Amino acid sequence: MTEPAFTPASAFLGRLVERGYLNQGTDLTALDARLVEVEKGQRAPLIAYIGFDCTAESLHVGSLIQIMLLRHWQQCGQKPIVLMGGGTTRIGDPSFRDDSRPLLDDATIERNMAGIRRVFERFLTFGDGPTDAIMVNNADWLDELAYIPFLRDYGRHFTINRMLSFDSVRLRLEREQPLTFLEFNYMILQAYDFVELARRHGCSVQMGGSDQWGNIVNGVELGRRTQGLELFGVTSPLLTTASGAKMGKTAQGAVWLNPESLSPYDYWQYWRNTEDADVGRFLRLFTDLPEDEIGRLESLPGAEINQAKKLLADHATTLCHGAEAAAEARHTAETTFEQGGSGEALPTVPVPRAELGAGIPAYALMVTAGLAGSNKEARRLIAGGGGRLNGALIEDANRPITIEDLDAAGQIKLSAGKKRHALVIPA
């Protein structure tokens, strides 16, 4: 557990504490000492892993803190392993959930894994070097597990009594939600993953979100009991916004890290709209900016805090999508919001020139532009004063929009409210 006055000597743990990544860890003092030895060149880099589910074809902002943990780990001269849960995803982590996850088929898992791999390549350096990241898939060993030998070798180290006492299981049972035996095995397999990674790759540290604490501790103990290994666990805090909402949800859904799932412009916007109270915290967690700079930014008064939000958006987007995409997103945002214009990175919707020539009712165009889910919703939006055409309020939902409405740049800017815009271009 975390010692209250723990002051780490190692670069890595020092950074975690300073930047707010540390929730708790097993024997942090010993881990700190090992890390220092590496820094002094007295031992080879330590190897840490974090496991990721393959439940979607991209990771989202909720996993970003974990990705950043691996990134800092690598920057501090240690070696990261990204563990893809190709095997465990077929079971579904029951931690703190009331319902079972839907079981995914192998093809879907495979596809998801490919999408997730690309995200990591932006945050970590992969390769064969001593501190290069590697990616492994736990299906490689879980798929071929033999049931009886596995039970005999590992099952005997788990008591049901203890497993039932873990919050992740206990809370579910207390709420009288069913927990299947399949899901119940998840924690055993995750513990086994840790031991297997130690054996195969010499991995000695597992990190993860605080909801993984129970699973991580199980792995540490299993390693000690079965092979006398000294393993460590480190968790990061569960993140919520200052107003208490879970991170990573927006109107359009999850904030994906993959440009196909969420455009860099929308990603930039997500960070730009951070609540005032979160700016400092997020700068520390999701950018590489130095502490003194962050201190200055987070104390900007009143509306000036918006400068800090832009920098947050710039740096977070650069990490995830590259500097070019970030610059374009910022440019688009500034022309759209500060000059009332429209930048290139706004979503564009091609509409056949002939249809525009004939005129399309405003409500219908809102729908094709993706700004409303149905004609009715579009009408409501316009009736409520939320529809704009090239910046001007749309009074009548039936008002035809034609080529006459093309602006100087040859496009039509449609807006739903102040933040959602789309460009209609004749095709």
Partner RNA sequence: GGAGGGGUGGCCGAGCGGUCAAAGGCAACAGACUGUAAAUCUGUCGGGUUUUCCCUACGUAGGUUCGAAUCCUACCCCCUCCA
Q: Is residue 178 near RNA by the rule CB under 7 A? A: yes
Contacting RNA (CB under 7 A), which of 377, 390, 403, 425? 377
Measured in residues, the chain has a length of 427
Using alpha carbons, select from 394, 378, 389 the residue that is nearest to residue 414: 389
Residue type, 132: D
Q: Which tokens sit at 365?
A: 């165009």
- Nearest distance in Å: CB 34, RNA: 41
β-pairing, 387-389 with 412-416?
antiparallel
Q: Is residue 333 near RNA by the rule CB under 7 A? A: yes
Helices (H) and strands (E) in the chain, counts: 19, 15
Q: Which tokens sit at 378?
A: 């579009």
Q: Is residue 338 near RNA by the rule CB under 7 A? A: yes
Q: Is residue 2 near RNA by the rule CB under 7 A? A: no
- Nearest distance in Å: CB 99, RNA: 9
Contacting RNA (CB under 7 A), which of 20, 77, 237, 417? 417
Please identify, using beta-carbon distances, which residue of 272 and 315 lies nearer to RNA. 272
Q: Is residue 386 near RNA by the rule CB under 7 A? A: yes
Q: Is residue 379 near RNA by the rule CB under 7 A? A: yes
Q: Is residue 174 near RNA by the rule CB under 7 A? A: no
Beta bridge partners of 425: 350
Using alpha carbons, select from 372, 367, 365 the residue that is nearest to residue 417: 372
Q: How far apart are CA 222 and CA 233, in angstroms?
A: 13
Q: Which tokens sit at 152?
A: 């005999």
- Nearest distance in Å: CB 133, RNA: 33
Q: With CB under 7 A as the contact rule, which of the stretches 12-20, 130-138, 145-153, 243-251 interacts with RNA? A: 243-251
Q: Is residue 420 near RNA by the rule CB under 7 A? A: yes
Q: How far is CA 360 from CA 122, 364, 365, 369, in A?
A: 42, 7, 6, 12
Chain contacts with RNA (rule: CB under 7 A): 176, 178, 242-243, 245, 249-251, 269, 272-276, 302-303, 305-306, 309, 333-334, 336-338, 361, 373-377, 379-381, 384-386, 397-398, 416-420
Task: List residues forming the annotated binding site.
Answer: 49, 186, 190, 249
